[in-house]
Homo-oligomer: A and B are copies of this chain.
Amino acid sequence: MNVLIVFCHPEPRSFNGALKEVAVETLQRQGDSVEVSDLYAEGFDPVEGAAHYPERGEPDTFFPLTEQRHAFKGGTLPADVQREIARLERADLIILQFPLWWHGLPAMLKGWFDRVMVYGGLYSGSMRYDRGRLAGKRAICSVTTGSPAAAFSRHGRGGDMATLLWPIHCSLYYLGLEVLAPQVVYGVQGGGLSYQAEGEFREHLESAKASWAQRLPSLADAATIPFSGWQDWDEHGVLKAQHPLSWRP
């Protein structure tokens, strides 16, 4: 199996960095080929904008999707975007390793979606969802949070974790990816902010590493999150009234 780990944390010696390392080691040990997109270390630019498109399709007004399609077709996509697309194409499994910041992806990783998932190349109106370009590949979010698990439970004050991750899972499925249940480590705080003293922090880390290492070998075969697809939707892209999950009037 070819695995791409998209690692998004500014500090290699972080909890996230350790989880990335344990994934590399565990997967390599079982014979997988592992590649890492280390977004911070590589200085990835997450800001989509005109500066990335010196050869414009539409010179007067910057429409991001127009320029993405134009650059994809003309082979003039920015080098970092081309590199990330090549990595995605080689991968059978994609692991997004990130801390939950402000109820979502850090800007660096959000911009990886904004810039790399180019219109007219990685998706289009007819190449999405279960007809997506990356169909047949798998993806998983490996996430850390500052607040403890109870806060992200169904009625927790932080918001239900499944709901917070839903937009990210939607994006992964939009590309055709099969989405695995996330790996979430709660209550991670360093730098003297913590619920945890240094010893507790170490213990938490070791336990999180062990549970991740134990789960990783199963990712190739584990059941994925079910999504509805083209056959379930009417011509407006809405669940057909006779769909078992539909309770529309």
Contact = CB atoms under 8 A, between A and B. Distances in A.
B191 A238 contact: no
5 contacts: A40-B47, A61-B191, A65-B146, A65-B191, A67-B191
Interface residues of A, number: 70
A69 B239 CA distance: 47
A47 B108 contact: yes
Given A11-B63, A102-B114, A150-B238, 20 more contacts: A11-B62, A13-B61, A40-B49, A46-B47, A47-B108, A58-B191, A63-B190, A63-B193, A66-B193, A101-B114, A102-B171, A103-B167, A104-B104, A104-B171, A106-B111, A107-B111, A151-B236, A154-B248, A155-B245, A156-B236
The 7 closest A-B pairs by CB, nearest first: A63-B191, A107-B111, A66-B191, A103-B167, A150-B236, A155-B239, A46-B107
A62 B111 contact: no
Interface string A107-122: 1101101100101000
Given A119-B193, A157-B233, A248-B154, A168 B238 contact: no
Contacts of A153: 238
Nearest to A44: B47
A157 B111 CA distance: 23
A141 B40 CA distance: 29
